[in-house]
Amino acid sequence: DGGITQSPKYLFRKEGQNVTLSCEQNLNHDAMYWYRQDPGQGLRLIYYSQIVNDFQKGDIAEGYSVSREKKESFPLTVTSAQKNPTAFYLCASSIVGSSYNSPLHFGNGTRLTVT
């Protein structure tokens, strides 16, 4: 079955620690995205990548970093500089960038709690 795998499903960290969230896809999609979801708010874009070795900041990139060394993988690091890291993080992929009508395929998210 093709899809997007995010791991782990739940993650707990102490304040001041960096943490990396995994996202792997076997859909052969070029574009990948990271969104953050908070209660009562729409999904907010953190970073996106349309091709290997290239990525762009989204609307709320501060305190986050990404890499795209392989087509299948787009890990997100939440750094200690992120002021409010506790949230539900969603990874997605699409055939090409969203302006070409492609729907997004989402993983089932990682819920990060920082105390």
Partner 1 sequence: SQKIEQNSEALNIQEGKTATLTCNYTNYSPAYLQWYRQDPGRGPVFLLLIRENEKEKRKERLKVTFDTTLKQSLFHITASQPADSATYLCALPNDYKLSFGAGTTVTVRA
In the complex, which residues of this chain contact partner 1 (CB under 8 A)? Answer: 4, 6, 31, 33, 35, 40-43, 45, 48, 50, 56, 58, 90, 92, 97-99, 101, 103-109, 111
37, two tokens: 């979801």
Burial classification of residue 89, based on how many CB atoms lie within 10 Å of its CB (0-12 exposed, 13-18 middle, 19 or more buried): buried
Q: Which is nearer to partner 1, 13 or 105 (CB)?
A: 105
Q: Which is nearer to partner 1, 18 or 113 (CB)?
A: 113
Phi and psi at residue 98, to the nearest 5°: -60, -25
Strand pairing category for 31-37 and 54-57: unpaired
Shortest approach of partner 1 to residue 108 CB, angstroms? 5
Shortest approach of partner 1 to residue 30 CB, angstroms? 11
